[in-house]
Amino acid sequence: MRCCGRSGATMGSISQKGGPGNSLAWRLCLSIPGGKRDEDLILPINSSLSVTLHQDQLKTTTTVAISKDFAEDRIWLNGREEDVGQPRLQACLREIRRLARKRRNTQDGDSLPFSLSHKVHVASVNNFPTAAGLASSAAGYACLAYTLAQVYGVESDLSEVARRGSGSACRSLYGGFVEWQMGEQADGKDSVARQVAPELHWPELRVLILVVSAEKKLTSSTVGMQTSVETSPLLRFRATSVVPARMAEMMRCIEERDFQGFAQLTMKDSNQFHATCLDTFPPISYLNDTSRRIIQLVHCFNTHHGRTKVAYTFDAGPNAVIFTLDDTVAEFVAAVRHSFPPEANGDKFLKGLQVRPAPLSDELKAVLAVEPTPGSVRYIIATQVGPGPQILDDPNVHLLGPDGLPKPDA
């Protein structure tokens, strides 16, 4: 990160993954999601797991500026100014400023080049669909918390700060495989994230994001989950009787790099998460017809091979996150192209990591046995497990100009 004096502003810019965890928290990927026992503190009713994806393919970039010349706090998301008064955003700002004030009060002298009463400008950009069930809020709030902490000189655990914005965001503060521990304390001090395994623990693991829709979902994750907590008996049963054993089993699968166990448990848990959505009243349906065809495709593909070679998971949206191993990527991408052929963007259908072309056998085509639906999958992002937040030193990639306003091309 670059911290410098510019027009009275202190600036910082951080690049952070887009998505897990189902999270992409993931929820951008693998996640064992659940509801919240405290909506204000954003405390979950069960622990959860996520995979952090690589910033080379999916990222949120955030720049923060603080200046005596700013009249008010302001925030821009993807080039559009948003309401800075949003309660969760304000909760993050208050907590960071509280921690900064606490640090200043316990040190001799003044280590910050600005007053804590100065206002802040924030600009954040996602390079993947926002509010479409791809954990953009998790990536965004993790990036925001980390960037604010760098600028304000806060060095404590940021789990609680990020969690105040989006529960899943606390997991996105770390790379690799991450657990969000539900905790037991009423104040949430023990509801924090911890890394289960680093990003290089499972180098063969690959992730394919099948973007079905980039549109904003009709029911937000926050509203949907709170309604589930209030009305779904299945969600309560799941949190107490299912998730603890699944958490233990999933961590074993990750530790031993057991893809068969990992894949099957991921799919089962995704299915049960969406079953709780249907058990909610009024029911919530995040999946669409293409989502269900992708589920069918995955099971047909695995049946053809006689073992589980790919796994799906869906967060609060229709977009699929596929887990597989490096030696299966090319064939499965070919199967997706066959079942969901691109309409006019064939050259842009596959983004991210390079995937060598692969032929699709007649036998597999016969097993798939579905009528192709052109354009149903808009594009695929190929990625892998990645690190946590990264500091950007290059001022050319900062999103705010010397005046503290978004750059025209940001």
Render the burial of 4-22: b for 16+ CB within 10 Å, e for the rest: eebebbbbbbbbbbbbbbb
pLDDT by residue (tens digit) across 167-194? 888 999 999 999 999 988 888 889 899 9
- Report residue 40 as tokens: 């204000």
pLDDT > 50? residue 334 = yes
At 380, phi and psi to the nearest 5?
-120, 135
Find tokens 């069930």 and name the residue.
133
- Contact residues for 408 (Cβ-Cβ < 8 A; gap 6+): none
- What rounded mean pLDDT belongs to the chain? 85
CA distance 150 to 224: 33
Q: What is the mean pLDDT of residues 240-265?
A: 96
Q: Which domains does the chain have, with CATH numbers?
A: 5-202+391-397 (3.30.230.10), 207-384 (3.30.70.890)
At 228, phi and psi to the nearest 5?
-65, -45
CA distance 129 to 212: 10
pTM above 0.85, yes or no: yes
CA distance 101 to 152: 9
Measuring CA to CA, how many Å separate 26 from each of 51, 159, 316, 328, 349?
6, 15, 10, 22, 23
77 confidence band (pLDDT: 50, 70, 90): very high
Q: What is the mean pLDDT of residues 224-250?
A: 91
pLDDT by residue (tens digit) across 116-163? 889 999 999 988 766 545 557 888 899 999 999 999 989 888 988 999
Residue 100 or residue 20, greater confidence: 100
CA distance 319 to 317: 6
What pLDDT does residue 166 have?
Answer: 86
DSSP 174: S
Measuring CA to CA, how many Å separate 308 from each of 28, 33, 51, 183?
21, 23, 19, 34
What pLDDT does residue 25 have?
Answer: 30
Residue 18 or residue 302, greater confidence: 302
The angle that helices 136-152 and 87-105 make with each other, rounded to 10 degrees, is 30
Residue type at 219?
T
pLDDT > 50? residue 1 = no
